[in-house]
Amino acid sequence: MENVRRNAEALVEKMMKGNDASHDAAHVWRVRDLALSLAEEEGLSSDPHSMQIVELAALLHDIADYKYLRDPSEEKIVENFLDQEGVEEDKKLTILRIIREMGFKEEVTGNGSSDWFPEFGVVQDADRLDAIGAIGIARCFTFGGSKKRLLHDPSILPRSDLSKEQYMNKEEQTTINHFHEKLLKLKDMMKTKAGKRRAERRHKFMEEFVKEFYDEWNGLN
């Protein structure tokens, strides 16, 4: 497993080198550390098989992020990597399922699927924890800046009742609207008890930030 982990880390460094800082290797290291910590809190640490699934899924989860795909063939990179590393078939399929189904776009129309398992829950929760709180705010504005989005335009309202396709189409959207369309929803979409507990503080910090943002925008502070 040690060799597979090191090779996965090298793949992350290689594939995410050109990404902006909202989705770079540092994001992956944070998600990996959060996922392993949540897994321990959720009682998975006694099962090496589960912990290996959690770590590899966390490490590889953004390799083929649709926002950064340069070539459709990149969607197969993770599967090819796991095959080359000789990862057992059941473990490989579990890792690929976590990566394929963990994105917000996969459950944008609801508050999360009931069809999840512990390894899935801790990896998804870890990724979502890194999307909220102080780090989440920094990442949100970094990504918006990389796309040259407006910070805010009062005439552009946050979209409600989004479909997956609408969510993935981010043209004409402002950075502050992303808080309403996604980030402020994540606390209630956490799967694990450990994830829910950690999300509370980060969510409150974001709420305070958004209120202050609007107050300053409108000259109230």
CATH, residue 111: 1.10.3210.50
- What's the pLDDT tens digit per position in 52-108? 999 999 999 999 888 887 766 677 999 999 999 999 999 999 999 999 999 988 887
Q: What is the pLDDT of residue 173?
A: 87
- What's the pLDDT tens digit per position in 108-137? 765 455 679 999 999 999 999 999 999 999
Q: What is the pTM of this model?
A: 0.93
- What's the pLDDT tens digit per position in 171-193? 678 999 999 999 999 999 999 99
Total number of domains constituting the chain: 1
Structure tokens at 106: 């996969």
Domain that holds residue 131: 2-217
Helix (H) or strand (E) holding 30: helix 25-41
C-alpha to C-alpha distance for 124 and 40, rounded to whole angstroms: 15
